[in-house]
Structure 1
Amino acid sequence: MTWQTLAAAPSGLGESPFWHPDEQMLYWIDIPGQHIHRCNVFMGTVESWAMPSEPGSIAPARSAGEASGLVIALRDGIYRAREWGGELRLLAKAGHDTATMRFNDGKADPLGRFWAGTMYEPRDKAAAELFSLDCRGGRAPALERKAGGATIANGLAWSPDAATVYWSDTPSHTIRAWDWDAGSNAMARPRVFAQWPGKPDGWQPGMPGYGGRPDGAAMDSEGNYYAAMFEGGRLLKLSPAGQVLAEIAVPARCPTMPCFGGDDLKTLYLTTARHNRPAQELQDYPDSGCVFSMQVDVPGLPVNFFQD
């Protein structure tokens, strides 16, 4: 398996990729660059859409069963755009102090709710939380708190049978899991799914002895969880029991989030970061910040659409 580099300018911090099955396009965001990108991977053309603040995550949306734009988590709230480049309509205002907190990793769940976690930027306490937004059937938008005790929310995913939800806290090097009842949106039996040692004292980028920390994630059709290990230069494939099945080296020190795409969902895409990375690292990994792809044998799960 070998990585290919998408023909697009690198992002500062690429995140939240998804394959849009109707448009046959790959979407992702650049958080510090405050842009949403989408690429026709067959033509190599990229469109970019500037945001008024940092986009933490995005998901495709449907209204009355028809594909209709995006749902977007910005620093201060969750917004709805009916079309590419269209008006941003506020669905739910954030309850946090936007001077120190912003929305981060998020996705739609299998029933069409949008979930987004937050990131506490001072990073000195576990103040980040996970929220769910349900607008199905004309419901009045309201954020429901689902979990907390994190510093940087990441790694959101659901098992193929929609019975388990996963959520990681990057600084604590921990991925948690809960039993999930899709209909009632209830989470139960919290547990540690996987955990790794923290960064060794004195470690600097390029030194051995550190495998990275869990950032964004994707799920394949067999229930295996793919975790991007930030600063570890690798992508891990974890079994439903949390065992490492495969370690895939990445041509960037800081992979951020995988997703599956293509008609057969056997193309694995991966966003990466270059923002604030050391000069030597960028020399060693000149394509840092680019989107990479490779072919895999087991297909992934299709993207979930937000529904309103």
Structure 2
Amino acid sequence: MHPTWQRIDPHTCQLGESPFWHPQEQTLYWVDISGRQLLRMQAGALQTWDMPSEPGCIAPARNGGLVIALRHGIFRAPQWGGALTQIATLAYDTATVRANDGKCDALGRFWVGTVDETKTQHAAALYTVDAREAGKPPRVTHQLGDALTGNGLGFSPDSTVVYWVDTPQHRIDAWDFDLSSNTLRARGPFAHFEPKPAGWQFSDSAYGGRPDGAAVDVQGNYWVAMYEGARVCQFAPDGRLLAQYAAPSQCPTMPCFGGADLQTLYLTTVRHGRSDAELARYPDSGCVFAMRAPLPGLPVNSFAD
């Protein structure tokens, strides 16, 4: 399908990721991982906030402000531009692993996937950070591991399924989930994609890309950005491919639903490290784009502390 994407602002990120729509503020938030910035678009005005290390993902907090997964830990910011307070540390070597894709579940636990920058050690994992017990430090749980690039986190509308991706494996997995006990049980592959051909060039349409960040709509359909595939795929809860939407960048990274009716699909993209030929075809790579979705998405979950 060929939607009409609109660039929301000319600002380009090196590696745009982790967008979410804040319904109370009517504001879009996202991060530039490589650029070490948080960004937000509020009432048509772009604001940026420099971070001390790479921000992998962010989420709103019920008590105000944000929870932020930086390379070197999990931080709370009570307000935009304010002081950062570290609340948790994830068990990985920050010299070769950093935080990546993440979001909160319905009870307010912050889920954070990581990236193994060596691309060989399978040191990436998926963690949950639970800060709901007053007076106690957040509880960090190692949920999944033995991965290279944690991505594609999503929750079904009833919170009984968790989706997760190890991007280089070209596969999306769906896990049965018990929300109250924070327990995952293997459910198996949800969708599989053909691997990247040797010598691939961006002009080769035979490669459909690999799954990156994702969002879920009100009917439980899973929307995933296909990195290097220049498309966003919509899958039914049973794994059937429902639609494909051509993206305005070769490397879309993550969609999210927003707008007053949650029916605007926002999409972050990448610019850093892409070839001149690719950027000539997609000159706005690195920007955030928006299109009208056929149905609304789920509202963002907020961090509980």
Instruction: Bin the TM-score by the shorter chain.
Output: over 0.9
> Which of 249, 271, 290 is the aligned partner of 1:293?
290
Choose 89-98 or 50-59, whichever is displaced more: 89-98
Offset, 1:174: 1.1
2:57 partner letter: S
Match of 2:105 among 99, 106, 109: 109
Distance 1:62 1:91 in 2: 16
Contact 2:108-2:303 within 8 A present in 1 as well:
yes
One of 170, 179, 184 as aligned partner of 1:182:
179
CA separation of 1:60/1:8 partners in 2, compared to 1, >3 Å: closer, same or farther? farther
Distance in structure 1 (CA, Å) of the matches to 2:107 and 2:98: 25
Residue deviations 1:227-273 (CA, integer Å, cap 9, x gap) = 10000000000010111100000110000000000111100000000
1:268 aligned onto 2:253 = no
Residue identity matched to 1:184: S
* Residue 25 of structure 2 corresponds to residue 20 of structure 1: no
Structure 1: segments with no counterpart, 5+ residues: none
CA distance in 1, matches of 2:6, 2:20: 17
- Cα distance in 2 for residues equivalent to 1:62 and 1:161: 20
Q: Please give the TM-score of this superposition, normalised by the length of structure 2.
A: 0.97
C-alpha displacement of 1:80: 0.6
CA distance in 1, matches of 2:79, 2:86: 14
Secondary structure of 2:157's counterpart equals: coil
Alignment length (residue pairs)? 302
1:62 is paired with a residue whose SS is coil
Q: 1:32 maps to which residue?
A: 34
Larger mean Cα displacement after TM superposition, 114-123 or 136-145: 136-145
In the TM superposition, 1:127-276 aligns within 5 A as: 127-138=123-134, 139-276=136-273
Give 1:15 shift.
0.3
State the distance in 2 between where 1:194 and 1:232 align: 15
Quote the offset at 1:61 in angstroms. Answer: 0.4
Give the counterpart letter for 1:47 in structure 2.
Answer: Q
Aligned counterpart for 1:76 among listed residues 72, 90, 96: 72
Q: 2:87 maps to what in 1?
A: 91
Q: Residues of 2 paired with 1:113 and 1:15: CA distance?
A: 20
- TM-score (normalizing by structure 1): 0.96
Shift of 1:164: 0.3
**Percent same amino acid among aligned pairs?**
55
What is the alpha-carbon distance in structure 2 between the residues aligned to residue 70 and residue 270 of structure 1? 20
State how far apart, in whole Å, the 1-side matches of 2:70 and 2:244 are.
32
In structure 1, give the amino acid aligned to 2:95.
A
Contact 2:59–2:302 (8 Å) recurs in 1:
yes
Q: Distance in 2 between matches of 1:7 and 1:105?
A: 23
TM-aligned CA deviation for residue 142 of structure 1 = 2.5
Deviation of the 1:25 alpha carbon: 0.5
Please, which of 120, 123, 135 is the counterpart of residue 119 of structure 2? Answer: 123
How large is the Cα RMSD of the aligned pairs? 1.0
1:7 deviates by 1.6
Determine if contact 1:8/1:46 at 8 Å carries over to the other structure: no
Counterparts of 2:293 and 2:70, CA distance in 1:
32
Report runs of 4+ in structure 1 exceeding 6 Å deviation. Answer: none
Shift in Å at residue 205 of structure 1?
Answer: 2.1
Structure 2 SS opposite 1:188: strand
The letter for the 1-side match of 2:37 is H
Stretches of structure 2 that go unaligned for 5 or more consecutive residues are none
Return the alpha-carbon distance in structure 2 between the equivalents of residues 272 and 189 of structure 1.
31
Corresponding position of 1:48: 48
* Residue type at the aligned position of 1:28: W
